[in-house]
């Protein structure tokens, strides 16, 4: 693939020095290659976005909404192709690839509605002081850089693109080098819809391309989703220029199971929370806190449920879990298995790579993991669950909150009053009660503590791309 970058409304060849190899993780084999964008091409993309901004800002809210609806419709029309590409390049089981596609469609449709309502959000502000009037205008932040990871590429990009375009921003998107193909779709749709040139630009590349974008002086804002390590570099670049960032970073989230739960139902939630997307979720509930009264019943059932999962190639088999998406991720997860062996952790199931082609690992459960274990404290990003027992509600809350991350949590309890109380006490951005990983476009997404800065989705996701202007007039 040569023309894989979309700059100023044209598809162009990459002029960088890196060759990006795109793989099929179930086979462990490459199936496409593209040349990365050069730093000069990142400059061109930012310049194109800057040139397009004045006109795009002035486009009526209903026209912007129509473009966003166009994105939703065209994603829907390409459903089968996009589901297959995610199964192939991400290793997602079909039902998960379908959910991702539906999520991206819903996101564009939702922000089309919000774009439509924008004029009504500009309003007069009553003043206590006499002799003045004041009004607000919500204006686009300007030119924004969007950098995304590989685990939910279609979705993460939609969560940024749709509100940014709705707000009237122009954008430069840098997809992950692990999954660069799926986001080409957004450029193709922009082309097909006749989106004005430069409103949406896409540059592909590795760290060098990301760094060229995140440190670019032509941006007004950077929105980043990815690891804490890169997130802090992105924040450093932003701080050098005193400009805003949204950071959606890692997690090490807790699932708290009280002893008044139906154990079979709880097992379903626990398994989904650690094996969807082969555990490669920032929101994976990878720390299981289980109350003493239910632990001896629940843990053997959980062990059996994980052992029953069908792990395989989503393109050729009926599977519950696919491979890890990249060889680097597979090696990383394998290194945690080695650490677990060194630490002498009690492995109830899994703890190893599968003996077959491709980047597969077994769904894994460690019990009674010490609080200072690296497996309890660090984000692994694989289907690796660590369990600890607790006695009281207070102890569960304290242990769940004892993390440098604060993205999400799940609470499982038959006592809804208690579940709500615990939800309020957890230091995270999103809590699920008796459900698992249910994300709705109307609710917010983002974390506290080391899990990031800012919120996506809902009206908060739109505000992230707006700035407030007040106009105050003297009546005298």
Shortest Cβ distance from residue 325 to ligand NAD (Å)? 9
CB 251 to ligand NAD: min, Å: 6
Nearer to ligand NAD by C-beta: 1 or 197? Answer: 1
Among 23, 170, 176, 204, binds ligand NAD (CB under 6 A): 176
Member of 29, 55, 207, 391 binding ligand NAD (CB under 6 A): 207
Crossing angle for the helix pair 228-240 and 207-214, to the nearest 10 degrees: 30
Under a CB-based contact definition with an 8 Å cutoff, are residues 234 and 62 in contact?
A: no
Of 134-173, binders to ligand NAD (CB under 6 A) are: 147-151, 156
Catalytic site residue from 24, 96, 177, 248: 248
Q: CB-based contacts of 15: which residues, under 8 Å, 6+ apart?
A: 35, 37, 38, 40, 41
DSSP code per residue over 264-304: HHHHHHHHHHHHGGGG--TT---EEEEEHHHHHHHHHHHHH
| 183 assigned to active site | no
Specify whether the backbone of 242 is left (phi greater than 0), alpha (psi in -120 to 50) or beta.
left
CB of 380 to ligand NAD, least distance (A): 10
d(CA 4, CA 180): 9
384 binds ligand NAD (CB under 6 A): no
Nearer to ligand NAD among residue 25 and residue 452 (C-beta): 452
Based on the shown chain and the rule CB under 6 A, indicate whether residue 358 belongs to the binding site for ligand NAD: no
**For ligand NAD, which residue of 93, 140, 210, 350 counts as binding (CB under 6 A)?**
210
Which is closer to ligand NAD, CB of 33 or CB of 415?
Answer: 33
Q: Which is nearer to ligand NAD, 174 or 221 (CB)?
A: 174
The partner residues of 139 in beta bridges, in order of sequence, read: 467
103 binds ligand NAD (CB under 6 A): no
Nearest distance, CB of residue 465 and ligand NAD, angstroms:
16
When asked if residue 225 is in the footprint of ligand NAD (CB under 6 A), the reply is yes
Q: Which of 88, 174, 287, 430 binds ligand NAD (CB under 6 A)?
A: 174
Any residues with CB less than 8 A from the CB of 197 and at least 6 apart, and which?
8, 9, 10, 48, 52
Scan residues 226-285 and list those touching ligand NAD (CB under 6 A): 226-227, 230, 233-234, 248-251, 282
Question: Whose CB is nearest to ligand NAD?
Answer: 210
From the list 14-22, 183-191, 204-212, 430-438, the region that binds ligand NAD by CB under 6 A is: 204-212
Options 21-29, 192-200, 208-216, 386-394: segment touching ligand NAD (CB under 6 A): 208-216
CA–CA dist 301, 4 (Å, integer): 48
What CA–CA distances, in Å, run from 9 to 184, 210, 245, 383? 13, 20, 26, 40
How many Å apart are CA 55 and CA 140, to the nearest integer?
12
Of 177, 183, 320, 399, the residue at the interface with ligand NAD (CB under 6 A) is 177
CB atoms within 10 A of CB 268: 14
Rounded least distance, CB 101 to ligand NAD, Å: 17
What SS3 state is found at 305?
helix
Q: 180 — phi, psi (to 5°)?
A: -80, -10
Phi first, then psi: give them for residue 435, nearest 5 degrees: -165, 175
Residues written for the chain = 476
Residue 109 CB, nearest distance to ligand NAD (Å)? 21
Nearer to ligand NAD (CB atom), residue 149 or residue 358 = 149
Contacts with ligand NAD: how many residues (CB under 6 A)? 31
CA distance 292 to 378: 24
Q: Which is nearer to ligand NAD, 261 or 407 (CB)?
A: 407
Q: Per-residue contact track with ligand NAD, 426 to 465, x per CB under 6 A?
A: ---------------------x---xx-------------
d(Cα 241, Cα 215) in Å, to the nearest integer?
8
Going by C-alpha positions, the residue among 460, 462, 469 that lies closest to residue 123 is 469
Which residues form the interface with ligand NAD (CB under 6 A)? 147-151, 156, 174, 176-177, 206-207, 210-211, 214, 225-227, 230, 233-234, 248-251, 282, 379, 381, 407, 447, 451-452
Annotated active-site positions, please?
248
């Amino acid at each position: 693939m040569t023309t894989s970058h979309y700059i100023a409304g044209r598809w162009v060849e990459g002029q960088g020095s890196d060759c990006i190899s795109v793989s099929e993780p179930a086979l462990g084999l490459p199936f496409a290659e593209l040349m990365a964008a050069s730093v000069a091409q990142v400059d061109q993309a930012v310049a194109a976005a800057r040139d397009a901004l004045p006109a795009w800002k002035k486009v009526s809210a209903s026209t912007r909404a129509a473009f966003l609806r166009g994105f939703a419709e065209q994603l829907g029309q390409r459903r089968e192709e996009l589901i297959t590409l995610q199964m192939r390049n991400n290793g997602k089981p079909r039902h998960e690839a379908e959910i991702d596609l539906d999520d991206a469609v819903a996101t564009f449709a939702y922000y089309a509605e919000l774009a439509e309502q924008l004029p009504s959000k500009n309003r007069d502000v009553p003043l206590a002081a006499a002799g003045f009037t004041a009004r607000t205008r919500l204006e686009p932040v300007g030119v924004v850089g969007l950098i995304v990871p590989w685990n939910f590429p279609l979705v993460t990009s939609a969560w940024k693109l749709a509100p940014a375009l709705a707000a009237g921003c122009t954008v430069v998107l840098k997809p992950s080098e692990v999954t660069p193909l799926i986001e080409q779709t957004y450029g193709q749709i922009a082309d097909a819809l006749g989106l004005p040139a430069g409103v949406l630009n896409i540059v592909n590349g590795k760290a060098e391309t990301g760094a060229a974008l995140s440190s670019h002086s032509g941006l007004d804002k950077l929105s980043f989703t990815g690891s804490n390590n890169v997130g802090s570099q992105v924040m450093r670049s932003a701080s050098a220029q005193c400009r805003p960032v949204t950071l959606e970073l890692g997690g090490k989230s807790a699932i708290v199971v009280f002893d008044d739960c139906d154990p079979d139902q709880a097992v379903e939630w626990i398994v989904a929370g650690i094996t969807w997307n082969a555990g490669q979720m920032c929101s994976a509930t990878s720390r299981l806190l289980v109350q003493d009264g239910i632990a001896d019943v629940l843990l053997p059932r959980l062990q059996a449920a994980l052992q029953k999962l069908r792990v395989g190639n989503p393109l050729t088999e009926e599977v519950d879990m696919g491979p890890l998406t990249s060889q680097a991720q597979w090696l990383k997860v394998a290194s945690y298995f080695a650490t677990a062996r060194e630490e002498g952790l009690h492995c109830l199931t899994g703890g190893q790579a599968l003996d077959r082609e491709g980047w597969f690992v077994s769904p894994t459960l460690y019990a009674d993991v010490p609080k200072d274990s690296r497996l309890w404290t660090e984000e692994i990003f694989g289907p690796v669950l660590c369990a600890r027992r607790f006695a009281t509600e207070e102890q569960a809350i304290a242990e769940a909150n004892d993390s440098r991350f604060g993205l999400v949590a799940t609470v499982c309890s038959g006592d809804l009053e208690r579940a709500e109380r615990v939800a309020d006490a957890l230091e995270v951005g999103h809590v699920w009660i008796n459900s698992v990983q249910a994300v709705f476009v109307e609710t917010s997404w983002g974390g506290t503590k080391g899990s990031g800065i800012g919120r996506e989705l809902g009206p908060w996701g739109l505000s992230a791309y707006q700035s407030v202007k007040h106009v105050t007039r003297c009546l005298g």
